[in-house]
A and B are shown apart, each in its own frame.
Chain A
Amino acid sequence: MRHTQTRDRLCGSIAGFFVSGGMMESDMAPRARKARDEANDPSSLVVHFGADKPLRLDAGVALSPFQIAYQTYGTLNEARTNAILICHALTGDQHVANAHPVTGKPGWWDALVGPGRAIDTDRFFVICSNVIGSCLGSTGPASPNPATGKPYGLDLPVITIRDMVRAQAMLVDALGIDRLFSVIGGSMGGMQVLEWAASYPDRVMTAIPIAAGARHTAQNIAFHEVGRQAVMADPDWNGGRYFETGKRPGKGLSVARMAAHITYLSEPALHRKFGRNLQDRKQLTFGFDADFQIESYLRHQGITFVDRFDANAYLYLTRAMDYFDLAADHQGRLADAFAGTKTRFCVVSFTSDWLFPTAESRAVVRALNGAGASVSFVEIDTDRGHDAFLLDEPEFHGAITGFLDSAARNQGIDPS
């Protein structure tokens, strides 16, 4: 395997826009073009795994060759005991605490990760990798299929949460790290945290699954299916072979993002932010333009999303979440997934999160207690819904700080 770091490319700030009847390669916004570059030739660190190191997928086939794009922050100490792996959510990426190479926005967990923050990069060596199946530099449906030289599209085998974790374990191996001080993540990242703890209990000292669950519920699968159908109903999706036509299914993916975005918020938060306020107008237009601020907001969310995300990757990652059911992998007994574990857990949920409600976290806590594991569980009181895990929530950050501090003390981990 070889490590490469390509030049850090900054992106322009020109907003993306829609062209009715599909987006041609020629009028593709610079951001979208940049996003496509990042998919194959990322500005992150990259580890390439050759034919000698295939990734064995749950689908029963091997993925080879493949690559993982990742970022690191802080310094690995001499004993190699201070590494923290952060697992990103569905549409997240490895850019936890640095400006995003496509959008230029601050890192998605800037509030939590950095010098002196809850996940203190003066003390810990933080790793975050783009998951397999995504589109920011790790192998996914937008990556070239070595058999054809063209993007995989739907020829990429279906990826699971366990596959993502297996790939991350290969990355951690490649970095020469045996045990991770902590594995931390929210939402889909939290699923990966639970999978890490179940698959590699001896390699995980502490685990912090946030706003997550040990399975995707029927309701969650339903929302994902709406999103996938929106993508696939866009004629420009072209059976997943849109790279060949030069048109991208921007409308479908945008609708998928709009629907999903609603599930990340809460009704009180929406009401507080938008209410029934009108967008740049004094009265209703009696038409189907975006009269309400909430409509305008969602459209904006949809449009900006398609510039930075690959439609097929969206299909693969939503599928991975749908397939996740940790109890089913252990004959229906979730506690068995954690039998004999020495890992210390800190489970976090948010009161207004209806995508991964507290009951899902509580089921994990119950199973961990049943397995005799060391577990803390905090439910943070907030009206900001599922997305609260990305936001500045002092009580949440306080819990993470306290938990990591005491665990680091127990393990004798000093600043690097």
Chain B
Amino acid sequence: MSVNNTPRVDLAVIADLISPKARVLDVGCGDGALLDLLEHDKGVDGRGIEISQRGVNECVARGLSVIQGDADSDLIDYPDKGFDYVVLSQTLQATRNPKLVLDQMLRIGDRAIISFPNFGHWRVRLSLLLKGRMPVTKDLPYSWYDTPNIHFCTIRDFVHLCEEVGATMESARALDANGQKIGLSMPWWFWNFFGQQGVFLLRR
């Protein structure tokens, strides 16, 4: 979550997917906003991993159980099914090996929750079509050469990845720029065009 300036409109949607008192690991927990929300509102037993030391120190100072670590290399240390939910919010596109990370999440957690910016959103498509340059938007403000987002995908791409790693989709949502769920009964192509973010609840 500390990767982009994306407003955390997905937090409430993610929190909705999590049952009270659950054991939750938030991978890329940033300043701990989601963990804080979950601990206060749902009484969860929350843990976090965050790559930036500054984020970690902020989390610990506000009383959260957070360690400095990297989604790509450190998930391997956690035991099988140690958590009810493993959350990866706005971080998938910044990992070196998204497939491996997803695989580890499904191993560690009973369920995995992933949210990510949809690179198939019409604004992104339009920007590339008209300007012919890699899109730089309000929410994804980096130029191609200095972006931490090295593995962008569209909602459709992600659905493919889920099939490849053998994940079952329990729930899928597309959110607009304000975090509102859009067209629940709409087909994938619609979400892939109008969804600013995708939020998925997976299990294996």
Contacts and interface: CB of A to CB of B under 8 A. Distances in A.
B63 A409 contact: yes
Contacts of B64: 376, 406
Interface string B67-85: 1110000100111001000
A365 B57 contact: no
B47 interface: yes
A246 B200 CA distance: 77
B87 interface: no
Which among B60, B64, B66, B68 has the highest number of chain A CB atoms within 10 Å?
B60
A402 B60 contact: yes
A366 B73 CA distance: 11
Contact of B61 (A365, A375, A401): A401
Contacts of B78: 369-370
Contact of B77 (A347, A369, A374, A381): A369
B125 interface: no
Given A372-B82, A374-B47, A406-B62, A398 B67 contact: no
B53 interface: yes
A405 B79 CA distance: 29
Interface in A351-409: 365-366, 369-370, 372, 374-381, 395, 398-399, 401-403, 405-407, 409
A403 B77 CA distance: 23
B38 to A, nearest CB: 14
A372 B79 contact: yes
Given A365-B67, A402-B61, A403-B63, A378 B56 contact: yes
A406 B64 CA distance: 8
B63 A377 contact: no
A326 interface: no
A398 B79 CA distance: 30
Interface residues of B, number: 21
A346 B67 CA distance: 9
A398 to B, nearest CB: 5
Contacts of A377: 56, 66-69
Contacts of A365: 67, 69
Nearest to A397: B61
B180 interface: no
A366 B77 contact: yes
A239 B126 CA distance: 84
A398 B77 contact: no
A344 interface: yes
A400 to B, nearest CB: 9
B65 interface: yes
Contacts of A407: 63
Contact of A403 (B53, B60, B67, B74): B60
B53 A381 contact: yes
B-side interface mostly: mixed
Given A378-B56, A401-B61, A403-B60, A370 B66 contact: no
A373 B56 CA distance: 17
A401 B60 CA distance: 9
A377 B62 CA distance: 13
A407 B60 CA distance: 11
A345 B59 CA distance: 14
B65 A399 contact: no
Q: Give the interface centre of A375, A376, A377, A402 by most chain B CB atoms within 10 Å.
A: A376
A378 B47 contact: no
A402 B69 CA distance: 20
A405 B47 contact: no
Interface centre among A344, A402, A407 (most CB of B within 10 A): A402
Most-contacted residue by chain A among B63, B66, B69, B79 (CB, 10 A): B63
A376 B66 contact: yes
Contacts of B62: 402, 406
A378 B79 contact: no
Q: With a 10 A CB-CB cut-off, give which of B57, B59, B67, B82 has the most chain A CB atoms.
A: B67
B80 to A, nearest CB: 11
Nearest to A403: B60
A376 B56 CA distance: 8
B57 A395 contact: yes
Nearest to B56: A378
B79 to A, nearest CB: 6
A403 B61 CA distance: 6
Contacts of A346: 60
A123 to B, nearest CB: 15
Nearest to A402: B61
Interface in B103-117: none
A380 B56 CA distance: 10
A402 B67 contact: no
B163 to A, nearest CB: 30
A377 B48 CA distance: 10
Contacts of B56: 376-379
20 contacts: A344-B65, A347-B67, A370-B78, A370-B79, A372-B79, A372-B82, A376-B65, A376-B67, A377-B69, A378-B57, A378-B60, A378-B68, A379-B56, A398-B57, A399-B57, A401-B61, A402-B60, A402-B61, A402-B63, A406-B63
Interface of A: 344, 346-347, 365-366, 369-370, 372, 374-381, 395, 398-399, 401-403, 405-407, 409
Given A378-B68, A403-B60, A407-B63, 17 more contacts: A344-B65, A369-B67, A369-B78, A370-B79, A375-B65, A376-B60, A377-B68, A377-B69, A378-B57, A379-B68, A381-B53, A395-B57, A398-B61, A399-B57, A399-B61, A402-B61, A406-B62
